[in-house]
Chain A
Amino acid sequence: MITRRLKDFLASKLMLLATIFSGLVVFIVVLVLFQKSMPLLTTQPLTELLFSSLWYPWKGEFGFYAFIMGTLWVTILAMTLAVPPSLLMSLYLAEYAPIKIRGIIKPMVDLLAGIPSVVYGLWGVIFLVPLVRDYVAPIAGVTTTGYTVLSGGIVLAVMVFPTIISISDEVIGASPQEARQASIALGATKWQTVKYVVMRSTLPGIIAAIILGFGRAFGETMAVLMVVGNVAKVPSSIFDPAYPLTALIANNYGEMMSIPLYDSGLMLAALFLLLTVLLFNIVAGIMLAGIRRRYILG
C-alpha cells in the first residue's frame, strides 16, 4: 500500500523534474543551434560570414551581409514608423483620455497583439502591397512590385504597436502622482507637466519598451516574409525588396539537406537571430525590473 507520504514524495520529485526541464529548455535550444552552426563557424572566418554579401551556398560562399542589412532596414523602418504614434498614444491613454474611452481603447490594443502573424501577412499582401505599388511608389516617382522594405516596415510597425504601447502605459502609470500634483499646483499646464515631469521619470521605461519592440520586430517571420520580396541584395531604398534573416531561414529549410553546410548556414542565421533577440530582451528586462522594483517598493 502506498502511503500518503510516499505519494507526496513522488509527486514532489516529479514536479521538480518538470521544473528543471522548463528551466533548461532555453539552454538546450541555444546549445543545439550552436552545435549545428559549428561546421560553418569553424570553416569560415566570422568577419567574412557577417560582412560579405556573396550568398552562393552551392559554391560554399556564405555571406550573410545582405540578409543582416535586410533585417536592419525593415526593422529600423518599422521602429521609426511605430515609435512616435505609440508613445503619443500611450501618453494620451495614460494622461488625457477619459476613463471610459481608455477602457474601450486599451482592450482593443491588446486584441491587436493577439492577431497571428500570418493574418498580418495576409493583410499585407491583399492591402499593403497594392497600396505601395499603386499609390505610394508613384507619388515618390518609383516603380515597384509593392513587395518592398516599406511594406515590410509598415506591417511590422503595426505588429509592434501593442508591445510598445502596453509597456509604456505601464511605466507611465507607475510614475509618482505627487510630482504631478506638485507641478499642477505650481500652475503648469497638463502638457508641461507631462513634458517636464512625467517624461523625465518614465524615460528609462519607455526606452525599455522600445527595445522590446525592436526585439519583437527583429524576430518576426511570417508577416514580413510575405510582403518583403525576398531578394538577396542589400536594399538601397525603402522601395527595394529585402531578405531578412527570418525569411532566409523560413524559405530554405527544404533545401537545407541537399547542399553541404547549408543547414549549418541556416542554423547560424537562427542562432544569430536568437542571440540578438535574447540580448534585447534581457537588457530591457533588467531595466524594467529595476523600475518595477523601485515603484512597488516605493
Chain B
Amino acid sequence: MFEPHISIEKLNVYYGEHHALKNITLDISEKMIVAIIGPSGCGKTTLLRSLNRMIDLVDGVRVSGKVLVDRVNIYENSVDITSIRKKIGLIAQTPNLLPMSIYDNIAYGPRIHGTKNRKELDQIVEKYLRASDLWNEVQGRLKEPASKLSTGQQQRLCLARALAVEPEVLLCDEPTSALDPISARRIEGQLLALKKYYTIIFVTHILRQAKRLSDYVVFLYLGELIEHGPAEDVLADPRELRTQAYVKGEIS
C-alpha cells in the first residue's frame, strides 16, 4: 500500500460558534484528481482551504485535528506556513491577479522564495505559461498588465502562477465557474494533463465536471464526510442515501 500523499485525521473547523467541518478523516493518494462535491454551504471550500492553511486568515477560526502532508502535520506550531503554501498551491474561483505585468505575476512566486537570477526567471515563466497553454497567446506581450487578459486567459495565468512555485499539490476552488464554456474546457484539459505530476484536489458543483475529470470523489453534506471513493463508484452507484439524492439532483 502506498503512503497517502495527504492524510486528514479528525479535522474539525469552527467559524466562531459555527461548526463548519465535522470530524473529517480522509486519505488522498498522490498524482490523481480528487473532486470534492456537495450542496452549497456544505463545507467544500472550507475543506479545500484548510489543506493549505488559507483558512487561518479568517477571523475567529478554530481548527482541531491533523492534516498530514508527506507525513508532516501542517497544523503543527513548529511548521513553516510559507513553505506549506509553496508546496500546496491554490487557484481561486475568480482569477485573483497581482497588480503587475503578466511576467511579474508568474515570477512573483519564485522571486519571493529566493530566485533572483533573471535567466532562471525567464525560463520559469516560459515553462509554466506553456504548461497552462497560455504561452502562444502572450509571448509577445509579457510586460503588459495582467489585467488586460480575458477572464479565461487570466485563470490560466493563475494556474501558471501557482505552478511556478513548483508545488506538489494543486487545490482548485471551482476553477471554471467564472469562465465561458470554451475557456472552461481548456482549463479542464490542462488539469487532466497535469495529473501526471501533481496531486489535484478541486471543488465543483458541476457533477458532470466531476465525472469528466476526477479519479476520486469526496461527498460532503452539512460539514460531514458522507461518502468517498473512486469516481465511477460514487457518481454512478453511491452507497449512501444522501449521496444518491445529491447525484440525482434532488438536493443542491
A and B: partners?
yes
Report which A residues bind B (CB closer than 8 A). 99, 176, 178-179, 181-189, 192, 196-197, 200-201
B169 close to chain A: CB less than 8 A: no
B204 close to chain A: CB less than 8 A: no
Supposing A184-B57, A187-B83, A187-B85 touch, asked if A197 and B99 sit within 8 A by C-beta, the answer is yes
Taking the nearest CB of chain A, how far is it from the CB of B93, in angstroms?
A: 10
16 pairs of residues in contact across A and B, judged by CB atoms under 8 Å: A99-B59, A178-B92, A178-B97, A179-B99, A181-B57, A182-B161, A183-B108, A183-B112, A185-B85, A186-B109, A187-B85, A187-B165, A188-B82, A188-B112, A192-B112, A197-B98
Q: Cα distance A251–B248 when bound, in Å? A: 86
Interface string of B11-27 (1 = CB under 8 A from A): 00000000000000000
B158 close to chain A: CB less than 8 A: yes
Chain B CB within 10 Å — which of A182, A183, A184, A188 has the most? A182
Q: Is the CB of B54 within 8 A of A179?
A: no
B134 close to chain A: CB less than 8 A: no
Q: Is the CB of B54 within 8 A of A181?
A: yes
Instruction: Give chain A residues whose Cβ lies under 8 Å from the Cβ of B162.
Output: 185-186
Q: Cα distance A182–B85 when bound, in Å? A: 11
Q: Cα distance A129–B72 when bound, in Å? A: 61
Q: Ordered nearest first, which 3 A-B pairs have the shortest CB separation?
A: A178-B96, A187-B86, A187-B85
Supposing A186-B109, A186-B165, A201-B99 touch, asked if A181 and B92 sit within 8 A by C-beta, the answer is yes
Q: Which residue of B lies closest to A98 (CB)?
A: B59
Q: Is the CB of B99 within 8 A of A185?
A: no
Taking the nearest CB of chain B, how far is it from the CB of A121, in angstroms?
A: 43
Q: Is the CB of A187 within 8 A of B113?
A: yes
Interface string of B178-221 (1 = CB under 8 A from A): 00000000000000000000000000000000000000000000
B73 close to chain A: CB less than 8 A: no
Q: Is the CB of B112 within 8 A of A186?
A: yes
Instruction: Give chain B residues whose Cβ lies under 8 Å from the Cβ of A176.
Output: 99
B67 close to chain A: CB less than 8 A: no
B234 close to chain A: CB less than 8 A: no
Q: Which residue of A lies closest to B80 (CB)?
A: A187
Secondary structure at the A interface, as helix, strand, loop or mixed, is: helix
Q: Is the CB of B92 within 8 A of A182?
A: yes
Instruction: Give chain A residues whose Cβ lies under 8 Å from the Cβ of B152.
Output: none
Taking the nearest CB of chain B, how far is it from the CB of A288, in angstroms?
A: 18
Q: Is the CB of A183 within 8 A of B98?
A: yes
Q: Cα distance A187–B90 when bound, in Å? A: 10
Taking the nearest CB of chain A, how far is it from the CB of B166, in angstroms?
A: 11
Please give the number of chain B residues whose Cβ is less than 8 angstroms from any Cβ of chain A in the complex.
26
Taking the nearest CB of chain B, how far is it from the CB of A171, in angstroms?
A: 13
For residues 149 through 183 of chain B, which have their beta carbon under 8 Å from a beta carbon of chain A?
158, 161-162, 165
B223 close to chain A: CB less than 8 A: no
Interface string of B78-107 (1 = CB under 8 A from A): 000011111001101010111110000000
Taking the nearest CB of chain A, how far is it from the CB of B207, in angstroms?
A: 27
Taking the nearest CB of chain A, how far is it from the CB of B128, in angstroms?
A: 12
Q: Cα distance A99–B60 when bound, in Å? A: 11
Q: Cα distance A61–B54 when bound, in Å? A: 69
Taking the nearest CB of chain A, how far is it from the CB of B74, in angstroms?
A: 12
Q: Cα distance A227–B161 when bound, in Å? A: 56
Q: Cα distance A196–B112 when bound, in Å? A: 9
B45 close to chain A: CB less than 8 A: no
Instruction: Give chain B residues whose Cβ lies under 8 Å from the Cβ of A181.
Output: 54, 57, 92, 96
Q: Which residue of B lies closest to A185 (CB)?
A: B90
Q: Give which listed residue, B52, B82, B86, B96, contacts A182 with CB less than 8 A.
A: B96
Q: Cα distance A176–B95 when bound, in Å? A: 12
Q: Cα distance A183–B113 when bound, in Å? A: 12
Given A178-B94, A186-B108, A187-B82, 19 additional A-B pairs, CB 8 A? A178-B97, A179-B98, A182-B92, A182-B97, A182-B98, A182-B158, A182-B161, A184-B54, A184-B57, A184-B85, A186-B86, A186-B109, A187-B83, A187-B84, A187-B85, A196-B112, A197-B98, A197-B99, A200-B100
Q: Which residue of A lies closest to B171 (CB)?
A: A185
